[in-house]
Amino acid sequence: MATNKITFDPDSDVARPVNLTINTGATFKASFEVVGLANTAFNFIGYTGSSQMAKSVSIGSTSHAVATFNVGFTSAAGGKFNISLGSTETRQLTEGRYIYDILVSSGSTIYRIIDGMILVKPGISSAP
What pLDDT, in 10s, does the model give residues 31-83?
999 999 999 999 999 999 999 999 887 665 557 889 999 999 999 999 999 99
pLDDT for the residue numbered 91: 93
With CA atoms as reference, report the closest residue to 44 among 116, 115, 106.
106
Question: Which of the two residues, 115 and 126, has the higher pLDDT score?
Answer: 115
Cα separation, 117 vs 128, in Å, equals 31
> What does the alpha-carbon distance between residue 43 and residue 75 come to, in Å, rounded to a whole number?
9
Residues contacting 68, CB < 8 A, separation 6+: 50, 51, 52
Q: Which of these ranges, 10-14, 99-103, 110-114, has the smallest mean pLDDT?
A: 10-14
Specify the pLDDT at position 82.
97
Q: Is 50 exposed, middle or buried (0-12, 13-18, 19+ CB in 10 A)?
A: middle
Backbone angles phi, psi at 50, to 5 degrees: -145, 150
Which pTM value belongs to this model? 0.89
Share of the chain above pLDDT 70, in %: 91
Cβ contact 115:54 at 8 Å:
no
Identity of the amino acid at 45: I
What are the extents of the domains in the chain? 3-121
Return the pLDDT at 87: 94
3-121 architecture in CATH? Sandwich (2.60)
